[in-house]
Amino acid sequence: MPDCNLKANLAKCTCSYPTCSRKGKCCECVMYHRAHGELPGCFFPEDVERTYDRSIKRFIEAYS
């Protein structure tokens, strides 16, 4: 299994939460939010991402 490409992931990361230790570690990011019934920040439009509401409900609302 290849190592995580942290630098490339960070370059593409759209999450605006400044102090998250999972930033750029997409596998950890997905696992964290999945465990909370949520989606990672990069799934959301920019204005919604900034609210830090990562719920599936908010995701559906954003694209309805």
Residues of this chain that bind ligand SF4 (CB under 6 A): 15, 17, 20, 22-23, 29, 32-33, 40-41
Cβ distance to ligand SF4 smaller for residue 35 or 60? 35
| Residue whose structure tokens are 């694209």 | 63
Strand partners, 30: none
What is the spatial distance between Cα 49 and Cα 2, in angstroms, rounded to a whole number?
Answer: 29
Cβ distance to ligand SF4 smaller for residue 20 or 62? 20
Q: Give me the least distance between CB of 1 and ligand SF4, in Å please.
A: 20
